[in-house]
């Protein structure tokens, strides 16, 4: 059985516990406390029980800790596959985009992602997907422009003619909207010769007056019962 790998000497148990207390990453704090128990004299098996892992994983934590310190116990994002486009590919791609396609040679009037992927494959024998090409162009400072959709049976000038005869938003023309702002204090359909005050009483007063006059004409009040005693 091989001997256990020793921990670096510039840390101790108290220092690792202090770093774990201030750490904002939970897995990193758990690994620091596990290594702190080893500094305190625990065996690798006891440290594995504290961390909830196997002895082999504790060994991997020790290797990372000795190489990079507490930062080596953080979960790092995988770098992923390297880009297939090199600097010379990007330079040639930039030159081709700036010059634009030739319809007689390339068969298109503007570059699409699939066209650029095909051109890269024909020139450098490098196969990339349109999604990868989109990310590469975005990193190079280019943006994708989509043409405005158009119906195949749309007549020429139909949109311009529709804009000329269509009413503006709100149903008012500019002159009418301006007049409505000027005459905002006027009542609709009130002529200049019509007096401001009405010559008749308000609706509520007229109603009460008519009701009082109707009651004054009947001096006898008759009450009707629905269920009379037998």
Please state the domain count of the chain.
Answer: 2
In this prediction, residue 213 carries a pLDDT of 52
pTM over 0.75: no
Domain final residue, candidates 73, 102, 122:
73
Q: Which of 4-8, 67-71, 156-160 has the lowest mean pLDDT?
A: 156-160
State the Cα–Cα distance between residues 2 and 62, nearest whole angstrom.
15
Cβ burial of 39 (10 Å; 0-12, 13-18, 19+) is middle
Is the same domain home to 63 and 26?
A: yes
Q: Is the pLDDT of residue 19 over 80?
A: yes
- 190 located within any domain: no
pLDDT tier for residue 83 given thresholds of 50, 70 and 90: confident
Helix ranges (H only) for the chain are: 13-22, 26-39, 44-51, 55-68, 87-99, 103-106, 113-124, 130-139, 158-165, 174-182, 203-216
Q: Is the pLDDT of residue 141 over 50?
A: yes
Is the same domain home to 69 and 110?
A: no
- 62 located within any domain: yes
Cβ burial of 196 (10 Å; 0-12, 13-18, 19+) is exposed
Least Cα distance to 48 among 64, 70, 65, 31 occurs for 31
- 25 located within any domain: yes
- 189 located within any domain: no
Domain final residue, candidates 21, 43, 73:
73
Polymer length of the chain: 230
- Print the domain residue range for 109: 87-139
pLDDT tens, 201-230? 555 555 555 555 555 554 555 555 555 555
Q: Is the pLDDT of residue 169 over 50?
A: yes
Of residues 94 and 81, more confidently modeled = 94
- 210 located within any domain: no
Phi, psi of 75 (to 5 degrees): -75, 115
Is the same domain home to 111 and 134?
A: yes
- 199 located within any domain: no
Is the same domain home to 59 and 91?
A: no
Is the same domain home to 18 and 61?
A: yes
- 48 located within any domain: yes
């Amino acid at each position: 059985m091989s001997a256990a790998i020793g921990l670096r000497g510039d840390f101790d148990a108290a220092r690792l516990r202090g770093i774990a207390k201030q750490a904002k990453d939970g897995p990193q704090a758990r690994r620091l406390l596990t290594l702190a128990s080893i500094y305190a004299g625990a065996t690798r098996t006891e440290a594995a029980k504290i961390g909830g892992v196997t002895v082999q994983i504790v060994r991997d934590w020790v290797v990372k800790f000795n190489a990079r310190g507490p930062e080596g116990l953080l979960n790092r994002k995988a770098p992923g596959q390297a880009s297939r486009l090199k600097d010379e590919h990007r330079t040639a791609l930039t030159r081709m985009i700036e010059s634009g396609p030739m319809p007689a040679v390339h068969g298109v009037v503007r570059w699409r992602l699939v066209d650029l992927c095909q051109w890269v494959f024909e020139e450098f024998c490098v196969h990339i997907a349109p999604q990868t090409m989109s990310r590469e162009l975005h990193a190079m400072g280019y943006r994708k422009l989509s043409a405005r959709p158009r119906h195949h049976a749309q007549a020429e000038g139909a949109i311009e003619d529709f804009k000329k005869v269509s009413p503006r938003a709100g149903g008012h023309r500019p002159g009418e909207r301006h007049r409505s702002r000027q005459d905002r204090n006027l009542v609709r359909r009130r002529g200049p010769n019509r007096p401001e005050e009405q010559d008749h009483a308000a609706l509520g007063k007229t109603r009460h007056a008519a009701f009082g006059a109707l009651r004054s004409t009947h001096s006898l009040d008759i009450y009707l019962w629905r269920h009379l005693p037998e």
